[in-house]
């Protein structure tokens, strides 16, 4: 199944218009989702968010593959409470060191110096820091 077919499957699983809710260009977002989906066993993590669109898409991957998703602030133009309501499967945490299992995929929207030490062997780190 190619990335466009996977994208259709993801958005069908969570039928919500994504484009207005993320500052990541939509083509790049599909690439990130494919990386998350193909990462080794372990949990998914997002550090920082602006509007919650990428966290919401990671929650689709987590649900489809029965994986845990952890979201760690700062939460930009939203709050932790709003994130917990809008992201179906994400668990809000305050410190990446508190993640109770090895990390297979990390989307960094904010810097996180210790992320390398928390990753599984072969884990994927994507740096898409929020600009402006």
CA-to-CA dists, residue 132 to 26, 43, 50, 68, 129, angstroms: 18, 29, 11, 30, 10
Q: How far apart are the C-alpha atoms of 76 and 114, rounded to whole Å?
A: 21
- The CATH superfamily assigned to 3-127 is Vaccinia Virus protein VP39 (3.40.50.150)
Which residues fall within 8 angstroms of residue 96, CB to CB, at 6 or more apart?
Answer: 45, 47, 70, 72, 112, 114, 115, 118
Query: Is the pLDDT score of 87 beyond 80?
Result: no
Q: Where are the domains of the chain?
A: 3-127
- What is the per-residue pLDDT across 24-82, written as a single tens digit (0 to 9) for each? 777 788 889 899 999 999 999 999 877 777 888 888 888 888 999 999 877 666 777 77
């Amino acid at each position: 199944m190619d990335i466009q077919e996977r994208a259709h499957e993801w958005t069908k699983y969570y039928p919500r218009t994504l484009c207005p809710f993320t500052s990541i260009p939509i083509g790049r977002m599909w690439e990130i989702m494919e990386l998350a989906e193909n990462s080794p066993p372990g949990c998914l993590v997002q550090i920082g968010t602006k509007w919650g669109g990428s966290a919401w898409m990671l929650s689709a991957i987590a649900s489809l593959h029965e994986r845990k998703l952890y979201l760690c602030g700062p939460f930009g133009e939203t709050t932790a409470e709003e994130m917990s309501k809008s992201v179906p499967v994400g668990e809000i945490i305050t410190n990446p060191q508190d993640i109770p299992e090895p990390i297979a995929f990390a989307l960094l929207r904010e810097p996180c110096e210790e992320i390398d030490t928390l990753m599984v062997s072969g884990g994927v780190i994507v740096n898409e820091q929020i600009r402006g």
